[in-house]
Amino acid sequence: MELSERLQQLRKLANYSQEQLAEMLCISRQAISKWESGQSNPDINNIIKLSEIYNVSTDYILIGKENNSNQLEESNSKKKEYSQPFKIASVIIAIIAATAIVSVLFISTLGRIAGAW
C-alpha cells in the first residue's frame, strides 16, 4: 500500500472528510486531495500531526509498519539475556586474574624470605 492510499484509508477510518482534516492541519482541502491522489506528499510536520490525529506511528504513515514497542522490549530482553552471562564470565575472569597476581606476589615474597634465612 502506498503512502497516498494509507493517508486516505486512515482519514476514512477516522470518519473525517478532507475538509475536516484540512481544518485540523490548517491547510487547504486541495492539499489533502493531492496527498491522497499521490500528486504530492505531506511535509514532516504534517506527518507528525497526522500520526497524533490518527494515533499511529509516523513509521506506519510513511512505510506501513507500526513501530511495535513489544519488538523493542523483546530486543532489549535478548540483550539482557546475552549480557548477563558475559558479566558473570567477566567477574570470574577478574577473580582468577586477581588470584593469580596475589599468588605470584605471595610466592615471590616467600622466595625473598626463604633466601634471607
- Residues 98, 51: Cα–Cα separation, whole Å: 56
Predicted local distance difference test score (pLDDT) of residue 82 = 59
> CA-CA distance, 26 to 17, in Å (whole number)?
14
What cell was used for 18? 478532507
State the pLDDT at residue 117. Answer: 60
Q: What tens digit of pLDDT does each residue of 31-85 get? A: 999 999 999 999 999 999 999 999 999 999 999 887 655 444 554 555 555 567 7
Closest to 61 measured CA to CA, from 79, 75, 48? 48
* Per-residue confidence (pLDDT) for residue 90, from 0 to 100: 85
